[in-house]
Amino acid sequence: MGYMDLNDIKQRMYKALEVLKNDMATIRTGRAMPSLVETISVMVYGGTTRMKIMELATISASDPQTLLLTPFDPSVLGEIQKGIMEANVGLTPTSDGSNIRIAIPSLSQERREQLIHLMKQKLENGRVMVRQVRHEAMHEIKKLEASEDEIRKLEKETQEITDNVILEIDSLGKKKEEELLVI
């Protein structure tokens, strides 16, 4: 009898969900939220090290429309600023020499629609990653030397895990869409 670790399948699917959550956090709503920039990765120290902004600076919202980044090491200020520009997330950082400020423009209706479209693409990518894990798992299950019943049971459990993760992806999308529609 072969062995199939359903926990491993669950972990791989939740890893895909985690990737998606981080990706979704970069879709900005009209409010200044640290999650807009925390996971942007930046090359620092002359291009020798890649780090996330949350590892390089404190990030706070000084008001609903402004993010304030204070680098732990002032020498990387320029590189953080450059990294945000290169991340292409539609944010323009300005520096006063010791801090970086990012004004968060309010969203036009057209921009909201673009962001909702982008969000739906990201959600679909997340679903594809989850289905890929499911596909690989089903393939592994079919190769097991187990009874028909055991195989059916594993397939059913794998499908249930898949359905639950897809539900979480859908609710993540609903929540984000509501945030995007708030003016």
What pLDDT shows up at residue 166? 97
What pLDDT shows up at residue 111? 82
What pLDDT shows up at residue 157? 95
The tens digit of pLDDT for each residue in 163-182 reads: 999 999 999 999 988 888 87
User: How many CA atoms does the CB half-sphere of 115 hold within 13 Å?
Assistant: 25
Checking if the pLDDT of 2 tops 60, the result is: no
Task: Report if residue 47 sits inside a domain.
Answer: yes
> If pLDDT is split at 50, 70 and 90, which confidence band does 5 have?
confident
Task: Report if residue 1 sits inside a domain.
Answer: no
**What is the per-residue DSSP string for 112-161?**
HHHHHHHHHHHHHHHHHHHHHHHHHHHHHHHHS---HHHHHHHHHHHHHH
The tens digit of pLDDT for each residue in 15-53 reads: 999 989 888 877 767 778 888 888 899 999 988 999 999
Task: Report if residue 159 sits inside a domain.
Answer: yes
Checking if the pLDDT of 77 tops 90, the result is: yes
Same domain, residue pair 172 and 139: yes
Task: Report if residue 82 sits inside a domain.
Answer: yes
Task: Report if residue 177 sits inside a domain.
Answer: yes
Same domain, residue pair 47 and 79: yes
Same domain, residue pair 124 and 173: yes
Same domain, residue pair 146 and 94: no
Residues with Cβ within 8 Å of 169's Cβ and at least 6 positions away in sequence, in order, are 17, 20, 123, 126, 127, 130
Find the domain containing 117 and state its range: 6-23+108-181
DSSP annotation of 98: S
Domain boundary among 82, 103, 124: 103
Question: What is the separation of C-alpha 76 from the centre of its chain, rounded to a whole number of angstroms?
Answer: 24
The CA distance from 60 to 73, in Å, is 17
For the chain, state the CA radius of gyration.
Answer: 21
Contact (Cβ atoms closer than 8 angstroms) between residue 40 and residue 84: yes
Mean pLDDT along residues 53-72: 93
Same domain, residue pair 93 and 139: no
CATH number assigned to the domain comprising residue 70: 3.30.1360.40
Same domain, residue pair 73 and 132: no
Report the domain count for the chain: 2
Q: Fill in the amino acid letter for 24.
A: M
Q: Tokens in use for 76?
A: 């990387």
What pLDDT shows up at residue 66? 92
Checking if the pLDDT of 1 tops 60, the result is: no
Same domain, residue pair 89 and 41: yes
CATH number assigned to the domain comprising residue 127: 1.10.132.20
Task: Report if residue 116 sits inside a domain.
Answer: yes
What pLDDT shows up at residue 183? 61
Same domain, residue pair 89 and 122: no
What pLDDT shows up at residue 3? 66
Would you call 138 exposed, middle or buried from its count of C-beta atoms within 10 A (0-12, 13-18, 19+)? middle
Task: Report if residue 158 sits inside a domain.
Answer: yes
The tens digit of pLDDT for each residue in 137-154 reads: 999 999 998 899 999 999
The tens digit of pLDDT for each residue in 92-111 reads: 999 999 999 999 877 888 88
Same domain, residue pair 91 and 57: yes
What pLDDT shows up at residue 169? 96
